[in-house]
A and B are shown apart, each in its own frame.
Chain A
């Protein structure tokens, strides 16, 4: 077990957004978190990555309790997330975006007395990742100039630069064309061979295709867990998605 949550809950004022969520994310597996709009998927993400402080429950990462840990510390421990709205540094080039992620683990983040050329030794690593994710032709483009799909890919590239144990992807394929979806799905499957992946995804074809384990949330609570076939035949899940008992 790489990441696990027990009895996770979050209240906003009187409103319970997430309640009693148990979740286990395992090494080398792709775990999907699905559910209708407003089910609390992103809130669960924010809780797991500590961008939100849980009201109830415990979270452990690699055997360490992180329930009260700061988000940047959690990231340094190996739990790295992406965002629903693509999170890149828009005025930096593709290469600079990846290098920013590489700076900290390589001990090149605090030197205010060195010239920028000190970062040149990260170029090879950065270019490797850029190449691997098919961004090589755009290496020197500013991130803001990339298409939406490529921005998402760039975000995954910067996330991978940290070589995280657990990768949390918040709707990595939202708003992408079919071609990009295939490419990103391939990338995710590829990276999941050596780390755990937890992703929120609306595209059920993708979930069926690449995810080993599915958790379904509704109104902040888990209504089903298991592989895609089990979950998709669950009557409660069908009701949640279709709104009928059919």
Chain B
């Protein structure tokens, strides 16, 4: 985030000559693992991990790469879950069309919320996004199509492009994996583009960007809408995976959880939010059956991380000697 200074001068670590190839190899390994994983692990768990990984990555696009802390991303995630679920179940849309509606709906919500919130900075921005997402929560509580406390249950997964049966959990898993990969590629391109460069400069020195003639608010709004749309993609996926959309998805706790995931993994890194989401989802899964409240454990983990690894798990690795030698750089 702006203002946070890391040791810039100090020891200079030479980047390994094959750093680029090693990075590519790591991505390839991750991809192979992701393809093989459902042979060993429960597919629903893996899909949940991917959906939340995408959600956290979308959130990180805003926090890590734009420097805006939103406390209302549940509205986009949960809102899209409702839109997708409703379109697929009530209107009988195909899953891909339902997902698209979720994305567009979340983007529209993002445009409205962003246009209001972007006028303020820092904590005020966070509070406005929280307030707006709470308004949306109460809308969802009252609206007819969300079915209030019941939520939208037994959402059909349907057939992808009318051909592939998504009720088969393996088909569904590879579909989710493909959407996840697509989302990450979009984020990666967004960050490493001419537009991403301007976002970076705004995060580094907003006043200077204004004095160079950039309409800072418009760039921030564009990033906000993009982040909301991708959070919506994750939310729509979630509705198809679990076959329901409920108030939990739009509640403020969900907004808090995605912040937690992103910070745990490391903001401003592409892999960080995915690891953070993985950690939180795994903890929730294994502790779900225990008597001990999950929130206490995740809270303690979060506190330990904040105290010991301020850059997050992946962020600390990137900042380490080995990480820098491999050419990793956190964008913060």
Contact = CB atoms under 8 A, between A and B. Distances in A.
A80 B8 contact: no
Contact of B207 (A80, A83, A115, A158): A83
Given A92-B201, A103-B197, A109-B195, A115 B212 contact: no
From B5, B192, B194, B216, residue with most partner A Cβ within 10 Å: B194
B210 interface: yes
Size bin of chain A's contact surface: 35 or more
B195 A75 contact: no
Given A71-B210, A115-B189, A145-B8, A88 B194 contact: no
A110 B195 contact: yes
Contacts of A76: 213
Contact of A75 (B189, B200, B211): B211
B36 to A, nearest CB: 30
From B189, B195, B208, residue with most partner A Cβ within 10 Å: B208
A90 B204 contact: yes
A233 interface: no
A49 interface: yes
Contacts of B214: 72, 104, 109
Nearest to B198: A109
A114 B194 contact: yes
B194 A87 contact: no
Nearest to A105: B213
Interface in B174-210: 189-190, 192-198, 200-201, 204-205, 207-210
Contacts of A158: 208, 212
Contacts of B163: none
A71 B207 CA distance: 10
Contact of A87 (B192, B211, B222): B211
B319 to A, nearest CB: 13
A116 B211 contact: no
B104 to A, nearest CB: 18
A26 to B, nearest CB: 22
A3 B208 CA distance: 21
B208 A89 contact: yes
Given A83-B211, A119-B197, A145-B8, A113 B189 contact: yes
B contacts with A: majority SS: helix
Nearest to A118: B194
A100 B213 contact: no
Contacts of B248: none
A116 B208 contact: no
B9 interface: yes
B31 to A, nearest CB: 21
Contact of A100 (B9, B192, B198, B207): B198
Contacts of A115: 189, 192-193
A44 B31 CA distance: 58
Contacts of B192: 115-116
Contacts of A145: 8-9
A6 interface: no
A179 to B, nearest CB: 22
B324 to A, nearest CB: 14
A37 to B, nearest CB: 22
A75 B8 contact: no
A162 interface: yes
A64 B131 CA distance: 41
Given A87-B207, A113-B189, A72 B215 contact: yes
B226 interface: yes
B195 A88 contact: no
Nearest to B193: A112
A110 B198 CA distance: 8
Nearest to A143: B204
Contacts of B189: 112-113, 115
Contacts of A56: none
Contacts of B193: 111-116, 118
A83 B200 contact: no
A104 B197 contact: no
A224 B51 CA distance: 68
A39 interface: no
B210 A96 contact: no
A109 B8 CA distance: 27
B200 A92 contact: yes
Contacts of B195: 109-112
A113 B193 CA distance: 7
Contacts of A103: 194, 197-198
B234 to A, nearest CB: 19
Given A88-B205, A91-B204, A145-B9, A110 B194 contact: yes
Top 10 nearest A-B pairs by Cβ distance? A75-B213, A112-B195, A87-B208, A89-B204, A76-B213, A100-B201, A108-B194, A111-B194, A144-B8, A112-B193
7 contacts: A51-B211, A73-B213, A80-B211, A96-B197, A104-B198, A110-B198, A112-B190
Given A112-B196, A158-B208, A158-B212, 14 more contacts: A51-B210, A73-B213, A75-B212, A76-B213, A83-B208, A87-B208, A100-B197, A100-B201, A104-B213, A110-B194, A110-B222, A113-B189, A118-B194, A144-B8
